[in-house]
Amino acid sequence: MDTIHRNTLYGLDYSQLADLCTAEGWPPFMAGQLARWLYKRHVEDPAQMTDLATARRERLAELFGRAFSASVRESRSADGTKKYLFRTSEGHFIESAYIPDGERATLCVSSQAGCRMGCRFCATGRQGLQQSLPTAEILNQIVSLPERDTLTNVVFMGMGEPLDNLENVVRALDILTSDWGFGWSPTRITVSTAGVVPQLRRFLDATRVHLAVSLHNPFSEERAEIMPVERAWPIAQVAEILREYDFTHQRRVSFEYIVMSGLNDTPRHVRELCRLLNGIKCRINLIRFHKIPDSPYFSPDEAAMIRFRDALTARGIQTTIRASRGEDIQAACGLLSTAFESTPFERRSLCD
């Protein structure tokens, strides 16, 4: 199969396209022409950009390689969820999950191959970090999706920590939401983070998309046991930053909370969550823990999930239980991972 190249025209933002035109001695208006071909028509082959001079098309073909690459494997769940496996330019693998739900169709995209955050309950975290995806490889998951034209929402909740790859994620968001790009409303997009404090303000200032914070335990020492990121950037610091921003209008912040039976679902956790989140207009999304191999954690039953939700709601925090989707194909929250990294034979048979 064709693989994407590191040096691609697709994935450049408007200022980069303008810089390219300046460097090549081309007129400034050509940046707009390129943006239209790339992000309105999703044409990456310069030969098809028919309103450009032939010499310029040939020069673009010399400078840039292929960006689009179809998935190498597709898995289908009984509930309609689909999981797509993509091969990156560096030979790693990433997964994306397409989740249809009535009139909504959400794509869960990856920002990295693997992840260095090391969360104990997440299959991706066990891989370590192999690669941060360039902008083109983030967008490729959307553009090369067979269901691309049905998408209503995109969530950066796949493999990797988006704020650990901030430059490429912000550029992808700019392309998705700008008038010269896809032209999507920022309200269609949510970015998740475990709480990379040094990058959080820049993300909030540079974008208008929704934010989801992976919380999972309000007590610092307990959270650090399952999320090593807590030792570097405590969740209390994240909460303090969020209090500085307005989440009462178009933009919202939510806290993702994977519930592990007996570990983070007691009355004292309810009380501490209320204290931690005081002053932040938010919601909590409760997610049932999905078992990964050799994990010491267990899922609560439905009654326990409802009790925990109702206890938080009674204290004034809008709380919902997120339905699990795609669990039978390992596409549910915390399950995205790629065994192909350590299986050379499967890698050859799939992709060569």
Query: How confident is the model at residue 193, as a pLDDT?
Result: 98
Distances, alpha carbon 134 to alpha carbons 5, 50, 128, 162, in Å: 10, 27, 18, 12
Give the C-alpha separation, 306 to 327, whole Å.
20
pLDDT of residue 345: 33
* Model pLDDT for residues 19-41, shown as the tens digit of each residue: 999 999 999 999 999 999 999 99
d(CA 297, CA 295): 6
Q: What is the pTM of this model?
A: 0.91
Rounded Cα–Cα distance for residues 237 and 298 (Å) = 29
Tell whether the torsion through CA atoms of 74, 81, 128 and 67 is positive or negative: positive
For residue 219, give both structure tokens.
Answer: 């007590």
CB burial of 173-189 (b: ≥16 within 10 Å; e: otherwise) equals bbbbbeebbbebeeebb
Residues of the chain with pLDDT under 70: 1-6, 325-352
Alpha-helix runs per DSSP H in the chain: 14-24, 30-35, 54-63, 135-143, 166-177, 197-206, 220-226, 229-232, 235-242, 267-276, 302-314, 344-351
What pLDDT shows up at residue 5? 52
Q: Catalytic residue numbers?
A: 95, 333
- DSSP category for residue 10: T
Report DSSP letters for 252-274, one per residue.
Answer: -EEEEEEE-TTTS-SHHHHHHHH
Distance CA 47, CA 31 (A): 16
Q: What is the pLDDT of residue 74?
A: 93
pLDDT reported for residue 326 = 57
Instruction: Give the separation between CA 327 and CA 66, rounded to whole angstroms.
Output: 33
pLDDT recorded at residue 30: 98
> Hey, what domains does the chain have and what are their CATH numbers?
14-63 (1.10.150.530), 73-347 (3.20.20.70)
- Residues 135 and 175: beta-carbon distance below 8 Å: yes
The tokens describing 231, both together, are 């030792």
pLDDT confidence of residue 175:
98
Q: What is the pLDDT of residue 337?
A: 62
Q: Are 205 and 163 a contacting pair, CB within 8 Å?
A: no
pLDDT at 330: 58
Residue 149: exposure state from Cβ atoms within 10 A (0-12, 13-18, ≥19): exposed
Determine the Cα–Cα distance for residues 234 and 197; give it in Å rounded to an integer.
8
Cα gap 287→42, rounded to integer Å: 35
The structure tokens listed for 230 are 């807590």
CA distance 133 to 235: 26
- Backbone φ/ψ region at 81: left (φ over 0), alpha (ψ -120 to 50), beta: beta
